[in-house]
Amino acid sequence: MSVKQRLLDRLQRREARVGIVGLGYVGLPLAVEFAESGFSVIGLDVNSQKVEQLNRGESYIVDIPTERLKPLVESGKLRATTSYEDLRQADTVSICVPTPLLKTKDPDMSYVVESVKAIAEVCHEGMLVVLESTTYPGTTEELILPQLINNGFKVGENVFVAFSPERIDPGNKRFGVRNTPKVVGGMTPDCADVAIALYSTAVDKVVRVSSPTTAEMVKLLENTFRAVNIGLVNEMAVMCDKLNVDVWEVIEAANSKPFGFMPFYPGPGLGGHCIPIDPLYLSWKLKALNYTARFIELASEINTSMPLYVVDKITEALNDDCKAVRGANIVVLGVAYKRDVDDVRESPALDIISLLHNKGARVAFHDPHVARVRLENNVIAESAAYSDDLLESADCVVIVTDHTAYDWQHVLDHSRLVVDTRHATPPRKGSARVVLL
């Protein structure tokens, strides 16, 4: 029996041991789905506190309630570790580590490189290695493949390599790991067969593509599509403001067209671990080929300028009340990058708060999901207690994240001036003067 067939049989019988590297918003939901599908799962993370918490059956991810995690830990189906040596017993390893950008906007591949080097040390015949972290086209072939070949393995014969981009949308109540189609590209057809066999146990639909590079490009297209369209509608908001037109009314009316239009909405800027970052991976890769990704560069320029645009709107709104931004009491509602999550990565709220601080404003924030944030110069700010007094003491309340926990009518009833960047407030209700983005 071939090495491939032995692994396929183990996957079919749920005897294969599944390894997940990186137990964050991507890795932990994937680990839970595999464990619920009947596999024994080993999750690895370098954060010992996370590992200890998981081994107690306690979740730190909003999308995975403790009630769902705990039975898997207690039954032995899922355990966490900080040691790559524990992955020596795994038949498959999915890499779900961060791929941020450096300050120069170049890809930071250090987490992937370190993980692959460690996995290569414990790799054995019959192991499947899948990269899920979003990255530039060619990463799987250029970074993962050489490490395994150096160990004397033959990819597609006695080890298998694939790329399958994560599609996790934190806080999404409708789509999770199971019902979101999974794209898979293998280094060889046999690699793809094995990877598809693995993911088909935990995902309802698997989409096969011809190569890892194609799969890498799929992920970048998805997020570039969103980034460019958000950039377009953000610029539309600025133009509508100059023309004294309500951009929200324009979008609502345009959305009445049953074909040829898809609504996107303006906001204070992009945040999260994907959309602000992933398109720049593609832009960086193309620069090496002497090509400028103009749409990506322009969309990034527009989207990253939105926090400054919001601060300008706040300044103008205060001026209309005969107040200066310097010395003003400003309350920011919501610092997570999107509604109903606790993730502040790349959140425009952090830029808005820092810009207001630099203008001399006194800024407090409240977020029902975020207890504290790290601002410029490593300053730690704590979430203020939400109260009538907090709102009433503010010269301006700024809605940055439209969490469903907020009662927007209450905000209007207890505020004097509200700058609403999310179109969250009800129209013409309450005593507050409302300025929309």
3-state secondary structure 308-358: HHHHHHHHHHHHHCCCCCCCCEEEEECCCCCCCCCCCCCCHHHHHHHHHHH
Q: Using alpha carbons, select from 55, 56, 12, 19 the residue that is nearest to residue 35.
A: 19
Gap between the Cα atoms of 230 and 263, Å rounded: 10
Residue 129 CA to residue 159 CA, distance in Å, equals 8
Angle in degrees, 0-180, between the axes of helices 212-242 and 294-320, rounded to the nearest 10? 30
Say which DSSP state 426 is in: P
Backbone angles phi, psi at 325, to 5 degrees: -70, -35
436, β-bridge pairs: 420
Residues 281, 138 contacting (CB under 8 angstroms): no
Contact 308, 319 (CB under 8 A): no
First-last CA distance in the chain: 64
DSSP label of 118:
H
- Phi and psi at 159, nearest 5°, equal -140, 160
One-letter amino acid of 409: Q
274 is catalytic: yes
Q: Which residues does 391 contact at the CB level (< 8 Å), separation at least 6?
A: 331, 397, 411, 414, 415
Provide CB contacts within 8 A for 398, sequence distance 6+.
Answer: 310, 314, 330, 331, 332, 333, 352, 418, 419, 421
192 burial type by CB count under 10 A (0-12 exposed, 13-18 middle, 19+ buried): buried
Nearest-angstrom CA–CA distance, 14 and 8:
10
Closest CA to 60 of 76, 43, 41: 43
Residue carrying structure tokens 């209700």: 429
Q: Which amino acid is at 361?
A: A
Question: Is residue 25 a contact partner of residue 273, using CB atoms and an 8 Å limit?
Answer: yes
Pairing of strands 417-420, 396-399: parallel
Choose, from 123, 240, 274, 396, the residue flagged as catalytic.
274
* Catalytically annotated residues: 274
